[in-house]
């Protein structure tokens, strides 16, 4: 399937049939995650493949009681590895220089020095699983599956449920399965509405 066709087919689904998701499809999805780009090629992500019914139920509760999540045959736990102590970064650290340039020194230093070190690190790494996760979503779509990003999540609770070590945090869930209902069309902005050329007029 061409990539644009796959993107056109990709939709969020919240109701799944009992059909199992094969290990081959999961390994294709993980392969797609592995190939994703990351700042400095850090690849500081981790993906849990959750099939256990009890765990899926507990995760659904941690996701603001979106209990439909537990009815997906597989839930992917999209995690970041917090491999840096933000409060102890050298002034010439390239990542710090980049962040100062992007967001300004005052804000970055505030977040880096925030007393709850783990929380500031979690916040800072919020986007880590996004690109590899979307690669996975698209590969699932190519295989005729559907999924949904879940960001409404108590990330500390989810990480606890999955018994993750302190330096790994589950930031998003992605229930994956076969849709059991037709998917409704939704409105999309036009290309003109979401783009500009040269300077903003
Ligand atoms: C970062 C992110 C977080 C999301 N969190 C949730 C969520 O917690 N629950 C949910 O039902 N949908 C969630 N969604 C799905 C969006 O509602 C959905 O992508 C959007 O309505 C567009 O529909 P589509 O994915 O079918 O194109 C999330 C999507 C993204 C990208």
Probe residue for ligand 1, chosen from 77, 138, 149, 179 as the CB with the greatest number of ligand atoms within 8 Å: 149
Percent of the chain with pLDDT over 70: 100
Contact 69, 101 (CB under 8 A): no
**Contact call for residues 36 and 135 (beta carbons, < 8 A):** yes
- What's residue 21's pLDDT? 98
Regarding predicted confidence, which is higher, 76 or 2? 76
Q: Is 14 in the pocket of ligand 1 (CB under 6 A)?
A: yes
109: CA distance to ligand 1 center in Å? Answer: 31
What does the block give as tokens for 197? 């050329």
Residue 6: alpha-carbon gap to chain centroid: 19
Stated pTM of the model: 0.97
pLDDT in tens, 144-189: 999 999 999 999 999 999 999 999 999 999 999 999 999 999 999 9
Domain boundaries, the chain: 3-82+127-177, 84-124
Alpha helices in the chain (DSSP H): 3-9, 23-34, 53-62, 94-103, 105-113, 117-124, 130-142, 155-161
Give the separation between CA 80 and CA 96, rounded to whole angstroms. 18
> Residue of the nearest CA to atom 1 in ligand 1?
151
- Measured in Å, residue 147 CA sits from the centre of ligand 1 at 10
- pLDDT level of residue 53 (50, 70, 90 thresholds): very high
Please tell me the predicted confidence (pLDDT) of residue 201: 85
> Residue 1 — pLDDT band, cuts 50, 70, 90?
low
- The Å distance, Cα 150 to ligand 1 centre, comes to 6
For the cut 90, the answer to whether the pLDDT of residue 193 exceeds it is yes
Taking residues 62-81, report their average pLDDT.
98
pLDDT at 85 over 90: no
CATH topology of domain 3-82+127-177: NADH Oxidase (3.40.109)
- pLDDT 10s digits, 93-135: 999 999 999 999 999 999 999 999 999 999 999 999 999 999 9
The upper half-sphere exposure of residue 65, i.e. CA atoms within 13 Å in the direction of its Cβ, equals: 0
Three-state DSSP class for residue 171? strand
């Amino acid at each position: 399937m061409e990539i644009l066709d796959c993107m056109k087919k990709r939709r969020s689904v919240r109701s799944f049939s009992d059909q199992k998701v094969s290990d081959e499809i999961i390994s294709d999805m993980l392969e797609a995650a592995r190939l994703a780009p990351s700042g400095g090629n850090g690849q500081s992500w981790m993906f849990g493949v959750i099939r256990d019914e009890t765990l899926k139920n507990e995760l659904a509760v941690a996701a603001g009681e979106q209990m439909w999540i537990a009815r997906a045959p597989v839930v992917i736990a999209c995690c970041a590895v917090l491999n840096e102590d933000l409060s102890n970064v050298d002034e010439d650290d390239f990542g710090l220089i980049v962040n100062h340039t992007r967001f300004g020194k005052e804000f970055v230093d505030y977040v880096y020095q925030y007393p709850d070190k783990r929380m500031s690190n979690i916040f800072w790494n919020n986007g880590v699983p996004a690109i590899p996760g979307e690669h996975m979503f698209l590969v699932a779509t190519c295989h005729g599956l559907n999924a949904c990003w879940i960001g409404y999540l108590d990330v500390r609770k989810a990480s606890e449920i999955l018994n993750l070590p302190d330096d790994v945090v589950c930031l998003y869930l992605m229930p994956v399965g076969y849709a059991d209902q037709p998917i409704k069309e939704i409105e999309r902005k036009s290309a003109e509405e979401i783009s500009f050329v040269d300077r903003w007029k």
